[in-house]
Structure 1
């Protein structure tokens, strides 16, 4: 099949050459045949520059025709044939670029990128002929994506011609396919240097639009990749974006950060540095906003957006402290551990003072509590405390000084509002007592005085033993029933 397609290429190219002086319909048929042939790799590799010169001439002619139509107020109905021909040209160019660096270079050197961007901007201005214009725009953006794929020179050329105007226009377009193709072009062109250009206040809007695309079109893979593979790798941009976002949009950004951090890929030292700087920023945000979660004690405020941000900040910090590369850095951050303990104390107290989402419950009364955004919040606080104390004597001692151990023990019973709270409490207590005799002794004394629930300790796989007149907290295997 490939041989017959490639063999037909010279005849199709000659047919287009002969049709260049003919009617638009005849040229369109010639371009259409070439577009079909370029679906095959062998035909793409055999393509000569003259084919792309002819396609460039057709697009330039279309540019002139559209401009004249507007200038002389002609009927836009006269553009039907022109728009169909433009679409077929972009389809042909799109196909010819697929995994073919030779054709990408030829097209760029001929000036097809700048001509295409000019034509795309002009097509955007056509107010009617919607379906014809939409199809032409879709194919044109696909062409830009394909000519840029794996080709740094083409990426730079598109950036020079199209940034930021083209992206500002088409990231907010009414057609989902056009938005997706625009995201594809942006993703393909971005690199660390170009991402830094987004820090310019005028260009920051491009990044904000990408987040809005992800928010409105959750199936958009390209917008997801732009954020996770590019935007999150620039800590200054993360800060600038965060400052401009609504609380609802911050929640989305934090969810994307959590997804990125939870990836188990081995990170380079540069990526680890980026993550550390993001961690510093997020820890600071959590310190400032953590008490907002107390608004959720009121059923009327169950969807408070500032509280939802605090919850997502805790989620991402839990993931970051579960990453060995980030753990030591976060353990050393001033005030993060204290903030977690203070917030646990406040939410625990709020749950005792009145019945609300922070009140421990052992039987669900309905679906409302299950879907509440604060479900699991106290579990995650204990998880964060446990992570921050992992093999860290200074933080173990700090929890002791902040009277955090009794607080954790008081939160270790089964709680439907906090799934796995018992397991996280076990984890935290183990990390707090590992090679820390003072913390072990405190728990042992609490149990002896009846201040710690012995059954709770047993459920944790811990027991108190008196040895040489000294109380020892030791690990035991749970008894099988």
Structure 2
């Protein structure tokens, strides 16, 4: 008969199994650490014992990485490793004393090394994924609200934990395929929990100084964007982008040219969400977003004509169209912010390029049946049902914003024959009330305190170039007083 198990011993007020040497004892300790009072009274010797089990069990993983025939012997070791990580994870919850004790034993280094080995194993077991997840959770918990632990996690984990490995054999258990080499990092792993937990570690460990290191490892930053794109419900990739990336214009400027169209759309969507949030941009945010405005405006000026390729390509490149639209969307939202508007109103070539692009796609849409015609449609992740009207609407909105209380830009639109162009878009907008709305808005801003532009529109009506019904549609009427034509408003100014 087997010898009876010794009863639990009380150490510093905590009921713990003694000695800690098997799976059952570890599970009991893990359960104890769910309570705050037990975490706060745990002696350091407990964590040394857990670490000893973790080190001993990791030898089996090392052997399996060198000799695939040993993988079948991993089950018991993976169980022990998983429970060690669960125990340490629970011990670190809201307990800086335990975080410090566990960190000072160099447990973080052992855990990171073990997780890196997990990525190399040629095994399809659920037990490996569970150990993998628990190890990442432990690293996240030990670093939570503890700067010293964050520093050690960063030293051990970055960039190796997030780098793309040349070979990774940790396949999801639901596959029927034979294990083959896959290009996976923790941030683009097929298991979404591993993606979430590794994102948590990155978010928790990053600070302003460490963002510089991320600029030197742009593939990791891009993987974060991909992680959010694939798992938009995951909180941690979202927080990394909105709370860290968007506060680092240097990182965004370095990363943006390397993004593909889908990745650009994802980043630009989050930039729009930040600008239009219920919480306005802070005093510290404004200088950062002025740098973003420079990047977005210069990219739009340089690349916006690529959208014209859609008129001739078959089939059209939905992703490229959506990326171009998103650049325009960001500019519209930025120019709706009074803190950013002044900078963009004088941005070299922006207003001219917007008018030129509006003219080209307006003519193309009238002369041919293509993506810029009223019936032209593009299906994309952004659910764009009519990219032509949407694109034109926002071009006109941007013109209106750039001319808001800015006489130089009002006059420039006049010089470029932009006013007849804008009015002509209202003629074909019966199926798109938003286009009419932005025409009204743009004409209002173009004529405010600008008698020259008012006279131009009045003369257009007199000469038959703008009929009275069209002007009434956009909120104006022409009244003749003696020999002078006066453009009068018939409605309140619409909000942008």
Q: TM-score, normalised by structure 2?
A: 0.86
Q: Secondary structure at the match of 2:480?
A: strand
Paired with 1:283 and 1:393, the residues of 2 have a C-alpha distance of 21
- Bigger mean CA offset, 97-106 vs 411-420: 411-420
**Which residue does the alignment assign to 2:214?**
198
Work out whether 1:124 is the aligned partner of 2:140: no
Match of 2:467 among 442, 453, 456: 453
| 1:95-130 residue CA offsets vs partner (Å, 9 max, x unmatched) | 222222222222222222112112212233332262
Q: Secondary structure at the match of 1:198?
A: helix
Offset at residue 291 of structure 1 (A): 1.5
Paired with 1:356 and 1:44, the residues of 2 have a C-alpha distance of 67
Match of 2:445 among 431, 436, 440: 431
**Which residue does the alignment assign to 2:302?**
288
Q: Map of 1:45-444 to 2, 5 A cutoff? A: 45-67=40-62, 75-128=70-123, 130-168=125-163, 169-200=185-216, 203-298=217-312, 300-360=314-374, 371-413=385-427, 415=429, 418-444=432-458
Q: Secondary structure at the match of 1:420?
A: helix
Paired with 1:302 and 1:419, the residues of 2 have a C-alpha distance of 26
Q: Secondary structure at the match of 1:19?
A: coil
Q: Secondary structure at the match of 2:487?
A: strand
Change (3 A) 1:9 1:172: farther
Paired with 1:263 and 1:134, the residues of 2 have a C-alpha distance of 37
**Matched residue pairs, number?**
462
Is this contact kept in 1: 2:332–2:397, CA < 8 A? yes
Q: What value does the CA root-mean-square deviation take over the aligned residues?
A: 2.8
Is this contact kept in 1: 2:16–2:29, CA < 8 A? no
Offset at residue 427 of structure 1 (A): 0.6
Is this contact kept in 2: 1:272–1:325, CA < 8 A? yes
Paired with 1:383 and 1:119, the residues of 2 have a C-alpha distance of 55
| 1:368-422 residue CA offsets vs partner (Å, 9 max, x unmatched) | 9972443411000000000111111111111111111111111123526755011
Match of 1:40 among 28, 35, 38: 35
Is this contact kept in 1: 2:16–2:28, CA < 8 A? no
Which has a greater percent of helix?
Answer: 1
Change (3 A) 1:95 1:216: same
Change (3 A) 1:9 1:129: farther
| 1:173-219 residue CA offsets vs partner (Å, 9 max, x unmatched) | 2322212211121122122222221221xx11111222222233333
Paired with 1:122 and 1:350, the residues of 2 have a C-alpha distance of 58
Is this contact kept in 2: 1:465–1:473, CA < 8 A? yes
The ranges of structure 1 where at least 4 consecutive aligned residues each deviate by more than 6 angstroms after the TM superposition are: 71-74, 364-370
Change (3 A) 1:298 1:129: closer
Paired with 2:311 and 2:62, the residues of 1 have a C-alpha distance of 62
**Which residue does the alignment assign to 1:473?**
487
Is this contact kept in 2: 1:289–1:306, CA < 8 A? no
| 1:336-394 residue CA offsets vs partner (Å, 9 max, x unmatched) | 11111111111111112123343357xx9999997244341100000000011111111
Offset at residue 332 of structure 1 (A): 1.7
Q: TM-score, normalised by structure 1?
A: 0.88
